[in-house]
Structure 1
Amino acid sequence: MVELREQDESTMGLSFAGDVYNSAVYMKRCFPQLSVSMVTAIGRDRLSDKMLNRFKSESLETEFVFRHPSKVPGIYFIETDESGERRFTYWRNDSAARKLVDFLSAEVIEQLTVADTFFFSGIPLAIFEQGAHTKFWQSLERLKAAGVKVVFDPNYRAQLWTSKEEAIRQFDKALRLSDIALPGVEDLTVLYGIQSAQDAVGFCQQYELEEVVVKNGPHSVFTLVGNELLSHTITPVTKVVDTTSAGDAFNGVYLGARLSGRGIGESVQLAAKAAGTVIQHPGAIAPMAAFKQTMSEAGI
């Protein structure tokens, strides 16, 4: 999406962001040896051209970035309060991304079966057009049958859904098809009334996932792999500028670390370091030099 942020009373700053894109960026920055592809739809307008160039500037593969002949990118405006908490205003009802499923032909899915991992979130599920979910689930079933690990982050945004009941229905399907889940406690609290990370892990156990990683804000992370339940203490940062993309950075670096052969504990700590670095900068994507320096000091 196009990200707008107020610079002063008469000027807006423009960038590009979106939860899956943010995760892809931080994964690639930390683990450049991995091939990281975007799967999305953009338009044929100037902003879409700039977006595509940004993908390439972050060394992301763009073979599966499809261009819709008449739709354009969605836009959001972000505001933050004194503690760095954010508020979004969206313009995305006619975005090209809502049409992504139209581009997922049998040939495209076959090409995607060579991937190790397919990561998606609750946000595309919320914006897909009526009737598109069935084809999307069929596509995921084909990927999973081919040995691709499916990873899901609920990332619930109430304003994007027609109802809480519909979100629960789609999330249930997503979790049943997934191998790895990366939920935040807040998402599950709103949808299911879950109040703790331990309860969130228990909730996820019904789906027989291979790996569960529950993000509990700045406090801790709980992981469940097989029968091993671990609590990981996180050191919170003292300077919080903007919490946008904290969870996205965590997801990208955690998955990148696991794909690179790192253990659960090390992967969590590296991911938490990435999230803590990102929230010290405005916007979803932190400056590359500052981010890479901090992550280099952390051992990447």
Structure 2
Amino acid sequence: MSGFAAIGECMIELSGANGDQWRMGFAGDTLNTTWYVRALTDTDFAVDYVTAFGDDPFSVKQRRFLRDNAINTAHSPTIVGARPGIYAITLTGSERSFTYWRNDAAARHLADDPDALAKSLDGRQVIYFSGITMGILSPKSRQNVLNAVSNARRQGSLVVFDANYRPRLWENADTARQVLSNAFHVTDIALPTFPDENALFGDATPADTATRIAGYGVREIVVKDGTEPALVIAGGTTTEVPTVRANAVDTTGAGDSFNGGYIASRLAGLDPLVAAINAHKVAARVVEFHGALAPMDEAKKAFNA
């Protein structure tokens, strides 16, 4: 087993520049995490982003962007006539809100071919996916993802999942609860965010979230909670890990970068508490930049500090 693969959607990101001018980049929750895993692992460690691309000029730019940053795309299909989804970031202070255009995004078809998906995940040391990954897919494709991840897990892959609940992606809350619960059942490391879990499952505290997810059979859990301490449950112990002070200008991608720092630490053989400390350091540096993707070298400096 070697390498890392994340499953999800690469979107066009529009972030504010001056007035009505916008900067264009590429981002998306699992892509953001992949970016930081790439930044924080050795250059010879294989990192892949498993998605689907359109055949338009922006999709060509997506592929080039990933290739130029040493992120491979495994057996990701090209969907004729499709194009990337788009989102725009609106800031109030450092807090962000998003507007999306993604109904005909190519990534909605990333799991239509179960054989290609299985090939993309074959032999991976770590596989990462999220509730957003699941939310954009059809019911059949959601099951294809769960089947592929479960099969890879049986072959020895470590599965990491962040529920990342976004209500607008789902038919209804009941469907979201069922699909995300099914995903937790095939997970080794869970990296949920407490406000999301509170909104969907009604958990009163981060400890309640951890207890519920442990009930699915997950043995390693880190409950993120914004600027509050993360709750780490591993090896039969529960520990709060404080956040790191930051001069935040844009909190886009904070949780995703935490996930990247945590996964990279665990890949390096560090224990969960050290991994959470490193993850907080990375996230604190990332929020000091606009957009979801801070420079890789800055993330690496924070990780090694």
8 Å contact kept, 1:29–1:58: no
Alignment-derived partner of residue 251 in structure 1: 259
**Is 1:87 paired with 2:84?**
no
- Is 1:266 the counterpart of 2:274? The answer is yes
**Matches of 2:251 and 2:24 in 1, distance apart?**
18
The answer to whether structure 1 residue 98 and structure 2 residue 108 are counterparts is yes
Aligned partner of 1:212: which letter? I
Cα deviation for residue 144 of structure 1 reads: 1.6
Alignment pair present for 1:161 and 2:170: yes
Q: C-alpha offsets along residues 94-141 of structure 1, whole Å, 9 cap, x if unaligned?
A: 100000111331x65145221011100000111102432222222222
Check if 1:134 corresponds to 2:128.
Answer: no
> How far did residue 18 of structure 1 move?
0.5
1: CA distance, partners of 2:286 / 2:207: 26
Q: What amino acid is the match of 1:164?
A: A
Match of 2:231, as an amino acid?
F
- Once the 2 structures are TM-superposed, how far is the Cα of residue 168 of structure 1 from its aligned partner? 0.5
Amino acid at match of 1:11: Q
Identity of aligned residues (%): 33
Pairwise mapping of residues 225-240 of structure 1 onto structure 2 (< 5 A)? 225-237=234-246, 239-240=247-248
Aligned equivalents of 1:132, 1:215: Cα separation in 2: 28
Counting matched residue pairs gives 294
Normalising to structure 1: TM-score of the pair? 0.93
Is the partner of 2:223 in helix, strand or coil? Answer: strand
Alignment correspondent of 2:25: 15
**TM-score with structure 2 setting the length:** 0.92
> Structure 1 stretches of 5 or more lacking a match?
none
Deviation at 1:288, TM superposition (A): 3.4
Superposed, 1:32-51 pairs within 5 Å as: 32-33=42-43, 34-51=45-62
For residues 224-253 of structure 1, the C-alpha deviation after alignment (integer angstroms, 9 at most, x for no partner) is: 11312222122332x211111001001011
Q: More deviation in 211-220 or 285-294?
A: 285-294
Contact 2:261 2:303 in 1 (8 A): no
Q: Deviations over 1:68-114 (max 9, x none)?
A: 111111000111111x1111111111100000111331x65145221
Q: Structure 1: which amino acid aligns with 2:68?
A: S
Match of 2:202 among 186, 193, 198: 193
Q: CA deviation at 1:289?
A: 4.0
CA RMSD across the alignment: 1.6
For 2:189 and 2:303, how far apart are their aligned partners in 1? 24
Provide the residue aligned with 1:72 in structure 2. Answer: 83
Corresponding letter in the other structure for 1:78: I
Structure 1 match to 2:13: 3
